[in-house]
Amino acid sequence: MDLLSAPVTTERLLLRAVTAEHVAAVTSGRRLPGWAADFPSEGDREIAGMLARIGLPEPHPVLGQWVIVERDTGLAVGGIGFFGRPEDGRIEFGYGLVESRRGKGYATEAADAMVRLALALPQVTEVVAMVDPVNAASVRVLEKAGLSFRSRECDELRYSTTASQPGGGRTQR
């Protein structure tokens, strides 16, 4: 796949790189065509605000933020992406879906795709995600996407996977 021009495609989703137009629309409260009725979520607004302040990664945000789009409807239903550049081979990611699309396995499908994308890059050796321990659904998403519990850090749980870990970046069904 040409990461400079193509979205990431999964069975039911397209992951499209966040654009400057998307960031401007979210931060201004303007709705774009192709958004689910409950998109953007609060998390999407927070990420767009951050991107408005720091800018989009150049030349292409492979390790940036992505919009989660349902292939069947063409609607934006969430976001997923990486926090910063890899440090010592490690990169962290996070995700979120609008309420109307939760419980359909979309978060797992998107997380699995992002983990595989990151681990395919030579500068990434470990993919990390932090999760609130009371968010059982998100814990299960990470486990299904091939991440394993590593430690408790403050009020969050740290999950990660590496390319050499069995199941790393491979959805467990």
In a domain, 170, yes or no: no
- Please compute the mean of the pLDDT values over residues 137-147 and round it to a whole number: 96
DSSP string, 9-59: E-SSEEEEE--HHHHHHHHHTPPPTTB-TT-S-HHHHHHHHHHHHH---SS
Residue 85: the pLDDT is 86
Residue 166: the pLDDT is 53
In a domain, 40, yes or no: yes
* DSSP designation for 112: H
Please tell me the pTM assigned to this model: 0.89
In a domain, 169, yes or no: no
Domain that holds residue 136: 8-162
Q: What span, in angstroms and rounded, lies between the C-alpha atoms of 31 and 38? A: 11
In a domain, 171, yes or no: no
Q: Count CB neighbours of 75 within 10 A.
A: 18
In a domain, 104, yes or no: yes
In a domain, 154, yes or no: yes
Number of structural domains found in the chain: 1
Question: Which CATH number covers residue 102?
Answer: 3.40.630.30
pLDDT of 39-67, one tens digit each?
999 999 999 999 999 888 765 557 889 99
Residue 37: the pLDDT is 97
Q: What span, in angstroms and rounded, lies between the C-alpha atoms of 118 and 124? A: 6
In a domain, 71, yes or no: yes
Q: What span, in angstroms and rounded, lies between the C-alpha atoms of 10 and 128? A: 21
pLDDT of 82-129, one tens digit each?
988 899 999 999 999 999 999 999 999 999 999 999 999 999 999 999
Kindly indicate the confidence band of residue 1, based on its pLDDT and cuts at 50, 70 and 90.
very low
